[in-house]
Structure 1
Amino acid sequence: MSSKQVRLKLVYIDFWSSVKLSFLIAVCLAVVTIVATFLTFTVLNGTGIFTEIDALYTDIAGSASELTTILSIGNVMGFAVVVAVINTVVITALGAIFAVLYNLSVKVTGGLLVGFTNN
């Protein structure tokens, strides 16, 4: 039994559907960003990289530096949350802009040809 192929044109993307989908994707990326930042900080702090960098800077510059106070877990995670929120806003806005631009370009290009099959 052969499957029948159907070819359709995508001529419209709903604005709010695009905004909702891009927002959900952005939230997922925000969670990944925050978790990855926490894990990276935990590994680097556990291996003593920050204290080694402090010692190296003290040897080179001659003055004591406290990198560990600047890069505390609170500061690092706060920065990660700010970056995640900004990324969420930007990705959501880009999803909305994409929907508008696609809907405008369909008038010129005729839409995107998509093939479907019954399996």
Structure 2
Amino acid sequence: MSTVADKLAKKSTRKTSGKQVRLRLVYIDFWSAVKLSFLGSIALAVVTMVSFFLIYLVLQATSVLAKADSIVAAFTDDSIRLSEVAGLPQVMAFAAVVSILNLIVFTVLGAVVAGIYNLAVKVTGGLLVGFMSN
């Protein structure tokens, strides 16, 4: 069965100075995809925690939180203090919850994408990948 990638490969007339190899990706190991997506989501969780911390520090240093606290206090007659609701422990707890949810979602998403790709390969024949050495 001839695919579009095969036809394009045959039309290529330019000569290369190095060795060229064309491989077809026809299967992605399910557990390898799960492990890789888990490691990627751990890295994303670390980035999320650090970014929440840095954004909080910038907002605290520029006194944006203090101004927002005074605006909220004016509207609620000092019944709600934004500094109590959005302190550093609360912000970091929220960042931890977001990180854990992202960890679960991206790990499952990596597994689903690997499964869908393995099913789609049966119809499309796989992904043609070319390598060349100079």
Question: One fold, TM greater than 0.5?
Answer: yes
Q: Distance in 1 between matches of 2:101 and 2:53?
A: 18
Task: Calculate the TM-score normalised by the size of structure 2.
Answer: 0.83
Q: Tell me how large the CA RMSD over aligned residues is.
A: 1.3
Asked if the contact 2:72–2:81 (Cα under 8 Å) also holds between the matched residues in 1, the reply is no
Q: Distance in 1 between matches of 2:72 and 2:40?
A: 40
Cα offset, 1:62, TM superposition: 5.5
Asked if the contact 2:73–2:81 (Cα under 8 Å) also holds between the matched residues in 1, the reply is no
Cα offset, 1:57, TM superposition: 2.6
The 3 A distance-change label for structure 1 pair 72 and 89 is same
Q: Distance in 1 between matches of 2:76 and 2:57?
A: 28
Asked if the contact 2:48–2:99 (Cα under 8 Å) also holds between the matched residues in 1, the reply is yes
Aligned to 1:24: 39
Q: Distance in 1 between matches of 2:18 and 2:49?
A: 45
Letter in 2 for 1:63: D
User: Is the partner of 2:93 in helix, strand or coil?
Assistant: helix
Percentage of matched positions with identical amino acids: 52
- The number of residues matched between the two structures is 118
Greater Rg, structure 1 or structure 2?
2
- Give a deviation string over 1:45-75, Cα, whole Å, max 9, x none: 122111101222334x261131000001111
Task: Calculate the TM-score normalised by the size of structure 1.
Answer: 0.93
Counterpart selection for 2:104 from 76, 83, 89 = 89
Q: Distance in 1 between matches of 2:131 and 2:76?
A: 68
Aligned to 1:63: 77
Moved over 3 A (4+): none
Tell me, which stretches of 5 or more residues in structure 1 are unaligned?
A: none
Q: Distance in 2 between matches of 1:116 and 1:96?
A: 27
Counterpart selection for 1:10 from 4, 25, 28 = 25
Letter in 1 for 2:107: T
Tell me, which stretches of 5 or more residues in structure 2 are unaligned?
A: 1-15
Indicate yes or no: 2:130 matched with 1:115. yes
Aligned to 1:104: 119
